[in-house]
A and B are shown apart, each in its own frame.
Chain A
Amino acid sequence: MLRIPVAKSDELFAAIASQQTLYLPADRKDGQAEYRKWEEGVKLSSRLNTVRSAKDFFFPQTENLAEFRMEGKKIEVIDIRKESEDFVIFGVRACDARSFTILDKVYLVDPVDTFYQTRREHGTVVTMACTRPAETCFCQTFGIDPTEPEGDVSCWSDGSYYYFRANTDKGQKFLDSLSSLLEDGDTAALEETKAKTKEILSKLPLAKVSTENFGGDKLNEYFRSEKWGELSESCLGCGTCTFVCPTCQCYDIRDFDTGHGIQRFRCWDSCMYSDFTKMAHGNPRLTQLERFRQRFMHKLVYFPANNNGEFGCVGCGRCLSKCPISMNIVKVMKALEEK
């Protein structure tokens, strides 16, 4: 398999960055990781995951869509889209890589979201297999194998080498462009690392969480469940879970008066917010109970109902560690399953 010594990672990143913009998870001063543009001196984080997910690259928190200029009764619509550049996201975990497939099911179906599509086309995803899963991890619940991540290129590390395999044409082109740096090598040490990780995976506290009792056919049963009151009781109605979530995909479109015209932008929305889906007639979800229920029903029931059984969660565990009151999808699943 093609590989490069970990000691040469600066050389590798420099080579990638000389062709395209390179983003990778880097440590912040506070010990958390975030995706950062690579430049000399930026080191790949050893943290399992970033606070914000990798969805930001394809679906940014805010994005300007168009501008309007008015003169009397005439409105001029200005397309403000600029030519996108090619970029590489390196070190995406298997959970986040799967989240792109989920977002694709929303944004690349008719009518195609061309803003999202353009970024998907220009981005090359290089994943990184996990070796130290956390207690909050439950990607296996959704059929994800973190030792075999998806992406245009899959990457593994055994501590001494990075190993690469292309999964798509785009990925192959990417590896070809680095051929002078990569050498073919033996994978015995890597197989050992994978085996060790698999052993940990089987011991994860959430390893047994299953989707067996969830899906489109559970709509009436779970929608009417009496558990929602208790589950949502302490919910603050903040947007933390939705904003750190790699699969949450809802947005709002707003017009902003710049004083010289109108800027139309979209931004992430959160079903936890009181004005989510507020319409001319009012709001269909009047209390936090309904808003809370919406988020979990969407991921565990509505999304699979509309997408051949695929769930709207990848088990990255971000909401488990970030919710201010520690209420999350695993607790919800367990509570709903209790008869």
Chain B
Amino acid sequence: MQEAMINKAKQLLADGTVNRVMGWKRGEFVYDITPAVFETAEEIDADFVCDDFTAANVSKYLVKESRKEGKILAFLKPCDTYSFNQLVKEHRIVRENVYVVGIPGGPKLDAEKIKAKGITGILCVKNENGTLKIDTLYGEETMPYYEAILGKCETCKSRKHVVYDELIGEEGEVITAEDSGRFDMVEKLENMTAQERYDFWREQLSKCIRCNACRNVCPACTCENCVFDNPASGISNKAAADSFEENMFHIIRAFHVAGRCTDCGECSRVCPQNIPLHLLNRKFIKDINAFYGEYQAGEDTTSRAPLNNYDKDDCEPSIVHERGVE
């Protein structure tokens, strides 16, 4: 796959279709891959990588990149295409300045999950028939491949690209919620008592170090100046003034991206404290599906989103009271 992508990138650069390529650059180790823009065939030959660890969704970078001179080639996994579409819909990406090549998705691997097994000194990681063979400074280690799969790939929602100019590899299908198990954990949380649910979130959110990585990586968070960074907003803060404030930050953010979050899973992927932030967003997605009919943000660029629309059949606000009180 990597070779086909490199060839495609070099071809499109050579024939002038694009003048830059958005992809991933290899790092010091097998897993520390950086999203990068390549401008020449030499740079691509030297550093371009697409493998088990190229999990980063590069769609958000295209907000800035698509406003530069010339067209940029972007390699997008199925999940990334939903973010891309949503950003086009919100007039954040200039569509005609991006040449989208759809590439197969994951599952991608999570180095943290390998390390959590106590495996350290990681030099090389290979999947051999469902067993991950890990070459380390302390000898070879093995673990089941599926246990190292990145959280967002475990509940993959689609192998279909919702936007592309060209595809490499075969097109896949949308995966139903039943098959992906995407809402299983949300249901588990819904079935908890209020106290249990509160305790769950307190334990998770109290780990927050307020680094803002979740917000800054989020393709739905593209405000020029976030209220939390803007002293004129009256609610800007860099740290919690009391122990409950971290919860508010995440809950407000989840509200703000409701109906626009495509469930790309980047928030949880980048969280240094492994907080399952995507569950907040999934709760909104699940509720929107239940109240307004199935809706997938980013599926298209033209439809009106349920929360931006009005319909006489919309559920009444009283639903909050009916469902919210135990």
- Identity of the chain A residue whose Cβ is nearest the Cβ of B274 in the assembled complex: A30
Residues 71-96 (chain B) with a chain A CB within 8 angstroms: none
> How many residues does chain A have at the interface if contact means C-beta atoms less than 8 Å apart?
54
Q: Which single member of A31, A200, A204, A325 contacts B117 (CB below 8 Å)?
A: A31
Q: Which single member of B29, B36, B209, B225 contacts A52 (CB below 8 Å)?
A: B209
Chain B binding surface SS class: loop
> Counting CB contacts under 8 A, is A48 at the interface?
yes
Interface residues on B, range: 35 or more
A206 in contact with B239 given A52-B209, A324-B213 (CB within 8 Å): no
Q: Report whether A234 and B35 are in contact in the complex, using a CB–CB cutoff of 8 Å.
A: yes
A233 in contact with B27 given A239-B211, A274-B229 (CB within 8 Å): no
Q: Which single member of A34, A233, A238 contacts B211 (CB below 8 Å)?
A: A238
> Counting CB contacts under 8 A, is A133 at the interface?
yes
Residues 130-159 (chain A) with a chain B CB within 8 angstroms: 132-136
A135 in contact with B123 given A31-B115, A31-B117 (CB within 8 Å): yes
B162 → chain A, closest Cβ, in Å?
A: 24
> Counting CB contacts under 8 A, is A268 at the interface?
yes
Q: Which single member of A31, A237, A326 contacts B27 (CB below 8 Å)?
A: A326
> Counting CB contacts under 8 A, is A320 at the interface?
yes
Q: Which single member of A32, A133, A204, A236 contacts B213 (CB below 8 Å)?
A: A236
A234 to B216: give the CA distance in the assembly, Å. Answer: 11
B54 → chain A, closest Cβ, in Å?
A: 11
A206 to B34: give the CA distance in the assembly, Å. Answer: 18
Residues of B within 8 A of A173 (CB): none
> Counting CB contacts under 8 A, is B217 at the interface?
yes
B84 → chain A, closest Cβ, in Å?
A: 17
Residues of B within 8 A of A239 (CB): 209-213
> Counting CB contacts under 8 A, is A190 at the interface?
no
Q: Which single member of A236, A321, A330 contacts B216 (CB below 8 Å)?
A: A236
> Counting CB contacts under 8 A, is B4 at the interface?
no
Chain B interface (Cβ < 8 Å from any Cβ of A)? 27-29, 31-37, 56, 61, 111-113, 115-118, 120-123, 136-138, 207, 209-213, 215-217, 225, 229, 231, 236-241, 269-270, 272-274
Q: Could you show 8 A-B contacts with beta carbons less than 8 Å apart?
A: A134-B120, A134-B121, A205-B29, A205-B123, A236-B213, A243-B209, A263-B241, A325-B35
Chain A interface (Cβ < 8 Å from any Cβ of B)? 28, 30-32, 34, 46-48, 51-52, 61-62, 132-136, 200, 203-206, 233-234, 236-240, 242-244, 252, 254, 256, 263, 265, 267-270, 273-275, 320-322, 324-328, 330-331
